[in-house]
Chains A and B, each alone.
Chain A
């Protein structure tokens, strides 16, 4: 009899189902992809993020003196696919769950994530190399820290120096035999 009464009472007891936002904070799932965050302390300027970005939101601009890079992400172009964070080798890029990005039209170009990442210097010749942040050195360069900070040319020379003996050995048994014969 009157089955809707049962439903009505049930719904009354359950309370409103409306999300309280904007009068109270909204529930955000943990894995929600919102604003991308860049940590310049971990960035090695590999450019993978720019390469994979679906919307072309990321730019790496070398400064005029060529000693640093402005890393720029425009939030108004980002489609929150998370590809950049997925492919970033050092996890310098992460997706936060912050979705409060509504802004006035005049502020559209302020919606950026900007990092100033200086290039590194070769420990031997001082040439410009990609930055080697502390976290990367700890992961990859802990065995030969000084070689890890070299440019490719110096690294090659250093390796060649290591594997070839300082003086080639002059006397070998073989040549001796031939001489006596």
Chain B
């Protein structure tokens, strides 16, 4: 029964956006990816959702600033396992232009491990779609293991 579910469930993961202190560039591109029919991430069977408790794939943007760190981690913990984290932009990986800033808690990896990374500042919507497609693969692997 669970196996059958796992075979069908990967087709429709829900995506949640988490802003860890980003400059908003990546967030605008993510919103574009979802809302504008031109890019339309829902073709991949994904859907943006408003609650972390419904989410399967998390798109994280921003370098994890000190101000939001605890809130972000609290929300992140609410997302049920198995979840797939996608770092959007270079900020979550290296800090990008915010690296070495006194307001940024780097490296973010010491708090949140990234499964898929979409480099760019910001990445273009097609690249985000590519990242979501890769996250789907990871998610299927996770479900098969679980």
Known: A102-B117, A103-B119. 5 other contacts (CB 8 A): A75-B119, A79-B90, A101-B120, A102-B131, A105-B85
Contact between chains at A22 and B121 (CB < 8 Å): no
Where chain B touches its partner, the secondary structure class is mixed
Let me know if A48 is at the binding interface, CB within 8 A: no
Classify chain A: how many residues form its interface, as a range: 20 to 34
Convert B56-95 into 0s and 1s, putting 1 for each residue whose CB lies closer than 8 angstroms to a CB of A.
0000000000000000000000000000010100100111
**In the complex the two chains form, what is the Cα distance from A79 to B23 in whole Å?**
13
Contact between chains at B127 and A101 (CB < 8 Å): yes
Q: Which residues of B contact A105 (CB under 8 A)?
A: 85, 87, 113-117
Contact between chains at A21 and B117 (CB < 8 Å): no
Q: Which residues of A contact B100 (CB under 8 A)?
A: 56
Q: How far is the CB of B129 from chain A (nearest CB, A)?
A: 6
Q: How far is the CB of B120 from chain A (nearest CB, A)?
A: 7
8 pairs across A/B with beta carbons < 8 Å? A19-B39, A19-B126, A56-B99, A77-B94, A80-B120, A81-B121, A104-B116, A105-B114
Contact between chains at B40 and A18 (CB < 8 Å): yes
In the complex, which residues 57-77 of chain A have their Cβ closer than 8 Å to any Cβ of chain B? 57, 74-77
Contact between chains at A22 and B133 (CB < 8 Å): yes
In the complex, which residues 5-58 of chain A have their Cβ closer than 8 Å to any Cβ of chain B? 17-19, 21-22, 26, 32, 54-57
Among B94, B113, B130, residue most surrounded by chain A Cβ atoms (within 10 Å)? B94
